[in-house]
A and B are shown apart, each in its own frame.
Chain A
Amino acid sequence: MAKIEHKGKAYEVDEDGFLAKGMEEWDNGWVDYVKSIEGITDMTDEHQKVIDALQEYYKKNGIAPMVRILSKTTGFPLKRIYELFPSGPGKGACKMAGLPKPTGCV
């Protein structure tokens, strides 16, 4: 496991830059760090809404929501989610929200 430093705080991450300990280590500094590497210029309420939806769903269900459930709960079509998170809901939003790395036949 690698460590990255952002504004004086250290985070433990895997090779793909996902938080190794998940939401346990997640904080606003982490959001700021992911923003800098995932092609996001300004954090908006819409970004926050996606992150909140992902975290809430994960806390309740123990898995990340399917894409269409994320669209339904946030009201954002997939196109909007890519505008907000250029890497998409998995690599972009889940990483920023501190959820575990998506797995399977990706």
Chain B
Amino acid sequence: MPKHDTPLLDQLESGPWPSFVSDLKRMAKKKDECWDILGQLELSYKDKITHWKHGGIVGVFGYGGGIVGRYSDVPDRFPGVAHFHTVRVNQPSSKFYSSKILRQICDLWEKRGSGMTNFHGSTGDLVLLGTTTPQLEPIFYDLTHDIGVDLGGSGGNLRTPSCCVGRARCEWGCYDTQAACHNITMTYQDELHRPAFPYKFKIKFSGCPNDCVASIARSDCSVIGTWKDDIRIDQKAVAGYIKGDFAPNAGAHSGRDWGKFDIQKEVIALCPTGCMKMAGDTLKIDNANCTRCMHCINVMPRALRPGKVQGASILIGAKAPILDGAQFATLIFPFIEMSTENEFPELKAIIEKCWDWWMTEGKNRERIGESIQRVGLPTFLSVMGVEPIPQHVREPRSNPYVFWKDEEVEGGFARTVKEFRIKHNL
């Protein structure tokens, strides 16, 4: 395939940030279909419109998802991207790799694909960008037989779950996010590979409320680590911070002079519930009034740690704007156990209850968050078998359109006008 002139894209080779254009050009020396990727992209830059056709349904036998079909709408000019399907490969928890497996995947992709990838897609998958339909089954065969990895999810199903780095290298992980992510992925392979849901469903695992995988915004079922008992305080380390031995926020703000660390100003006064104070040289936390926002722990990681009674909160229903507006997830279960040894029975019960209900009640292409909006939070809570608690709302409703059930009202709803007219004659 010939080189194309790419004056607009060439401009993106200057500047300090790693240039995807330079990368593509380097790959094009080995895989000349990359020239056509550049050529079609240049045309899109010029025309200010995409040159991919609508949709595309391709896949491998046995699965209903995992591969996103794509065709060029100018295949005669750019035959190298006439077919340009994307293969989603299920990534390891927290994306730790050995160079061996990456080499294996690269060898496979250089042989059967464009050589271009996306490390990683927003949902977490390792994304192999651009191949042709006849290559799909061979790719799948090699992935599963030689490399031992499976495809990720796409379509109306469980999408590839993902997690933060967790206890692998973070002292705040309140449960083993990697074990949970892996266990849930393996348990629900069928739901991941064969679309059976009204729409997509995502699960993300964060070890603490810092939420490094943004589960509260990007997953229908958000599992966020937390603790029930007291924050662990090392008073000696607190004194170290006050003295200036340790940099606040582990030195995250060292790029600018913010003055000497002031525990009053930077921690105590910023606590959202105002539940902290210094009593002499001792830092006190009124844990009953702590909302576990992580701020004080984030500022003084050597001195403060999450409590020992750890678990997770479950929030349901985050989604992007389409159709009826963006949503963050809503708190449904304030605290559940996350037992790795027992393979997360509480979490699985919750997930399956959500699915049982949503698979029958959810409308076509309705995210679970929208289903909850439609039927109301109280109905969803009763489906989930949860007693309403104040923690379920940020504030009580301000309108008085309150529904009552027949049995909650003395005398029920059955009335006759005749009876009413005895006292209220026309």
Q: Which residues of A contact B (CB under 8 A)?
A: 15-16, 18, 39, 63, 66-68, 78-79, 82, 86-91, 95, 101-106
B196 and A39 contact, CB distance less than 8 A: no
Within 8 A of A (CB), among B258-293: none
- A sample of 17 cross-chain residue pairs with beta-carbon separation below 8 angstroms, ordered by A number, consists of A15-B53, A15-B69, A15-B83, A16-B57, A16-B58, A16-B69, A63-B364, A66-B198, A68-B360, A86-B61, A87-B61, A88-B63, A88-B64, A88-B195, A90-B155, A106-B55, A106-B68
B196 and A102 contact, CB distance less than 8 A: no
- Given the complex, which residues of B lie within 8 Å of A104, measured CB to CB? 365
Q: Assuming A68-B196, A86-B62, A90-B195, is B57 touching A106 (CB within 8 A)?
A: yes
- Given the complex, which residues of A lie within 8 Å of B62, measured CB to CB? 82, 86
Cα separation A59 to B54 with both chains bound (whole Å):
24
The B contact surface, by secondary structure, is loop
Within 8 A of A (CB), among B188-212: 190, 194-198, 200
Taking the nearest CB of chain B, how far is it from the CB of A1, in angstroms?
12
The 9 A-B residue pairs whose C-beta atoms are closest, nearest first, are A88-B64, A86-B61, A16-B57, A39-B61, A106-B155, A15-B71, A78-B196, A91-B57, A67-B196
A90 and B64 contact, CB distance less than 8 A: yes
Within 8 A of A (CB), among B33-59: 53-59
B330 contacts partner chain A, Cβ-Cβ < 8 Å: no
- Given the complex, which residues of B lie within 8 Å of A86, measured CB to CB? 61-62
Count chain A CB atoms within 10 A of each CB in B58, B63, B196, B197 and give the residue with the most: B196
Within 8 A of A (CB), among B161-210: 190, 194-198, 200
B196 and A91 contact, CB distance less than 8 A: no
Q: Assuming A15-B71, A86-B61, A104-B365, is B56 touching A67 (CB within 8 A)?
A: no
